[in-house]
């Protein structure tokens, strides 16, 4: 089924990756605070998609974040942890009741110790908890995509072989997100449990980045064997 997939903060690295991976089958709405930036990014991604795939069945267009939130069937929050309060308070009250919201957001900071997890370092809420506060239908939030780097998503020709941890409370929403993960060749969804456990998926990112830096690994990912 063709979905309208909106990407808030779609002009960033992850946003480009999501757009390029799902445009073959879906209608992608690239969101930005600035509609002109969104349109420019959508045009750039469309060119990149044509180069990678030849032709696509879906589309990529760019709009302001507010329009994207209102129109989407699936809304990806591709923004930094620090922006959750301002973005979600403005947008999440306007989404369709059926809209599935996806959080790939990692609450992380780089210090001289390494990459640290803000909920542990500073006692702040984890991303899933914070986003959920602003949702009309809290069960429609799914956390996923924390452990795949934008560098691997942005090139559709790159062969992937990684697992993606998924947390959420509503089976239909989780099934939809699992389906979208499965459409990216080489990615496998691994369900960890309810949204209350999403901090486990979120903390996997600083874990991976510390492993990468201390052991000189190039863009590591996670695969359960």
Asked if residue 86 binds ligand NAP (CB under 6 A), the reply is yes
Residue 129: CB minimum distance to ligand NAP, A: 14
Asked if residue 33 binds ligand NAP (CB under 6 A), the reply is yes
Phi and psi, residue 64, nearest 5°? -70, 155
122-161 residues in contact with ligand NAP (CB under 6 A) are 145-146, 149-150
Q: How far apart are CA 128 and CA 218, in angstroms?
A: 28
Asked if residue 37 binds ligand NAP (CB under 6 A), the reply is yes
Q: Confirm if 66 and 38 have CB atoms less than 8 A apart.
A: no
Which 8-state DSSP code applies to residue 7?
E
Among 9, 119, 195, 221, the residue binding ligand NAP under the rule CB under 6 A is 9
Candidates 8-16, 111-119, 159-167, 179-187; binding stretch for ligand NAP (CB under 6 A): 8-16
Asked if residue 36 binds ligand NAP (CB under 6 A), the reply is no
> What sections of 24-170 are H helices per DSSP?
35-53, 65-71, 84-91, 118-121, 127-132, 150-153
Asked if residue 46 binds ligand NAP (CB under 6 A), the reply is no
**Residues pairing with 164 in the sheet:** 189
Q: How far apart are CA 57 and CA 172, in angstroms?
A: 25
Candidates 43-51, 73-81, 118-126, 170-178; binding stretch for ligand NAP (CB under 6 A): 73-81
């Amino acid at each position: 089924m063709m979905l309208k997939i909106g990407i808030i903060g779609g002009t960033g690295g992850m946003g480009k990756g999501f757009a390029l991976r799902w445009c073959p089958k879906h209608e992608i709405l690239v969101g930005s605070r600035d509609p002109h930036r969104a349109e420019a990014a959508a045009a750039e991604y469309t060119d990149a998609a044509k180069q990678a795939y030849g032709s696509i069945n879906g589309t990529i267009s760019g709009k302001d974040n507010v329009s994207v939130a209102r129109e989407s069937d699936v809304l990806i929050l591709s923004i930094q942890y620090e922006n959750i309060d301002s973005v979600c308070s403005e947008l999440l009250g306007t989404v369709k009741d059926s809209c599935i919201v996806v959080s790939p957001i990692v609450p992380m900071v780089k210090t001289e110790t390494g990459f640290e997890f803000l909920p542990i370092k500073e006692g702040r809420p984890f991303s899933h908890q914070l986003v959920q506060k602003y949702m009309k239908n809290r069960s429609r939030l799914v956390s996923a995509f924390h452990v795949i780097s934008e560098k691997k998503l942005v090139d559709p020709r790159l062969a992937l072989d990684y697992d993606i941890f998924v947390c959420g409370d509503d089976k239909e929403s989780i099934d939809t997100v699992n389906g979208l993960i499965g459409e990216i060749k080489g990615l496998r969804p691994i369900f960890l449990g309810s949204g209350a456990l999403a901090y486990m998926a979120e903390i996997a990112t600083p874990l991976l980045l510390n492993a990468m830096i201390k052991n000189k690994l190039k863009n590591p990912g996670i695969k359960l064997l």
